[in-house]
Amino acid sequence: MVALNKSDLTPAQRAHTRRILWLLLAYAIILPPLVWIRANTAVAGYIPILMAIAASLPVLGIFASWGRYVSDERDEYHQTMALRRIAVATNATMGAAVVWGFLQGFGAMPLVEAYWIPCIWVLMQGMFACIGAFARGAE
């Protein structure tokens, strides 16, 4: 979804962008207080579980939005490009996670929290979109 003007976006892309922006706003509102509470108070019992679920809901919504975008997109080219980005990002992220996991297992790398995996996935999608845009521009 590389577009310079709002008018360059398909209706499905505009809806997806709106959903993502609202979910990121929710994440930005929800996460800091949860991190502060965890760091500065003694939470116990089921409260940490509820906090973790609350923090993960916007991220799960982002994944759901990608699925909805792919199913809503009527332009076959944009749909194909989105599916390619998702496939490349998923393969690269899972490959990196496996290699890092073995490096951790053999004591060569420090422990990294698993919630960073979706961040890498999103970065990989963006990187692939940029590479694709440059490749199409060179044609």
**Cα 66 to Cα 51: distance, rounded to the nearest angstrom:** 24
**Cα 50 to Cα 89: distance, rounded to the nearest angstrom:** 29
So what's the pLDDT on residue 60?
94
**Cα 89 to Cα 84: distance, rounded to the nearest angstrom:** 8
**Rg of the chain (C-alpha set):** 18
pTM of the model: 0.80
DSSP secondary structure letters along 18-69? HHHHHHHHHHHHHHHHHHHHHHHS---TTHHHHHHHHHHHHHHHHHHHHHHH
Tens digit of each residue's pLDDT, the chain (139 residues): 555 566 788 999 999 999 999 999 999 999 999 999 999 999 999 999 999 999 999 999 999 999 999 999 999 999 999 999 999 999 999 999 999 999 999 999 999 888 889 989 989 988 888 888 788 776 5
So what's the pLDDT on residue 92?
93
So what's the pLDDT on residue 40?
94
**Cα 20 to Cα 65: distance, rounded to the nearest angstrom:** 7
So what's the pLDDT on residue 68?
96
- Domain ranges across the chain: 7-74, 75-139
**Cα 105 to Cα 125: distance, rounded to the nearest angstrom:** 27
**Cα 110 to Cα 104: distance, rounded to the nearest angstrom:** 6
So what's the pLDDT on residue 98?
95
So what's the pLDDT on residue 3?
52
So what's the pLDDT on residue 4?
55
